[in-house]
Amino acid sequence: MKFLTFFKPFLFLTLVTQISLKTFSQQGIVNLTQDAKFEQLLNEKRKINNAITITDRYKIQVFNGDSENSKKQLMAFKKEFSDTDCTIIFSTPLYKVWVGNYKSRIEAERNLIEIKKKFPKSFLVKPNK
């Protein structure tokens, strides 16, 4: 009798498991249709991403510090040099304000001389990927 009371829960659990596996098993075939324009757009995006590389470009770092001060420096730079593009880069734990996108070092150094007049702590950077 004790054996039967000990064996019932295991028998019940096995039976429930087998029934649930058989009744809730699903076999489905998923058909995915995709618009041809989406694939074309994706290929265009890949081409653009390959064209935009930062390894062969020089930048000038104007500021290095916390988030609030980097935003202030970015706005101050935009006021002084509105024709030069600038951005904030996060590099743990600091924020950096990078300006320009120069192909050659000579071009970057020429602009660095002008920028140093207003932002004396700026220096030339060649970022890595």
Q: Would you say residue 50 has pLDDT above 70?
A: no
pLDDT at 4: 62
All residues at 6 or more sequence positions from 81 whose CB lies less than 8 Å from its CB, including other chains: 99, 115, 118
Q: Which residue has the higher pLDDT, 54 or 69?
A: 69
pLDDT at 13: 81
Torsion of CA 46, 47, 48, 49, to 10 degrees: 50
Task: For residues 97-102, give the mean pLDDT.
Answer: 90
Burial of 58 (0-12, 13-18, 19+ CB in 10 A): buried
pLDDT at 111: 93
Structure pTM? 0.56
Of the pLDDT bands very low, low, confident and very high (cuts 50, 70, 90), residue 120 is: very high
Total Cβ atoms within 10 A of residue 38: 9
Q: Which residue has the higher pLDDT, 21 or 125?
A: 125
Task: For residues 96-108, give the mean pLDDT.
Answer: 90
Q: Which residue has the higher pLDDT, 3 or 109?
A: 109
Instruction: From 38, 58, 76, 39, select the one nearest 127 (Cα to Cα).
Output: 58
Instruction: From 112, 122, 125, select the one nearest 63 (Cα to Cα).
Output: 122
Q: Which residue segments constitute the domains of the chain, with CATH numbers given? A: 51-125 (3.30.70.1070)
- Degrees (nearest 5) of the Cα angle 108, 110, 111? 65
Pairing of strands 94-102, 58-65: antiparallel
Query: What are residue 94's phi and psi, to 5 degrees?
Result: -115, 160
For 11-15, 79-83, 111-115, which range has the lowest pLDDT when averaged over its residues? 11-15
Task: For residues 85-112, give the mean pLDDT.
Answer: 90
